[in-house]
Amino acid sequence: MRSLVHHGFSLIELLAAVAIAAVLTAVALPSFRQQVLSSRRAEAREALLAAQLAQERHRSQHPRYAERLDELGQPALTRNGLYRLRITGADATRFGIEAQAQGSQAADRGCHTISLRLEDGDVRLAAFDDRGTVQASACWPQ
């Protein structure tokens, strides 16, 4: 009598493997998305620091800091368009710049707005979640 040799997987084994993969994906995907959003914050920080340097160059040649990004030659959007920049106030001694998440980055509820201010000779870094709660330590890592 010949013995039957089975090659491949049974339907039950295949369904079990698919179920395990689905559970792993459901657990890992939110964490992965959060990590992607967090890594993209570097784009905002980079743009804010570049705008700060542009403000200092502008101030060295003018009696006050620039009130508009076009005076600095800076774009309103960051490199990949994930943040919109704006100057929140400027005079002879201080300025503020904000980067607000937009597009796919708007899902970053923890660091929706990242800001940099020069006030009384000190640079102050801040950030706010989508409800306006301060989140500076999470958004400006030390």
| Cβ 87 vs Cβ 115: under 8 Å | no
Query: Each residue's pLDDT tens digit in the chain (142 positions)?
Result: 566 666 777 888 888 889 888 888 788 777 878 778 888 899 999 999 999 999 999 999 999 999 999 999 999 999 999 999 999 989 999 999 999 999 999 988 889 999 999 998 899 999 998 888 888 777 887 6
- Residues in CB range of 141: below 8 A, 6 or more apart: none
| Alpha helices (H) in the chain, listed in sequence order | 11-61, 69-72, 136-139
Residue 43's pLDDT is 93
For residue 85, give the nearest of 60, 121, 59, 55 by alpha carbon. Answer: 55
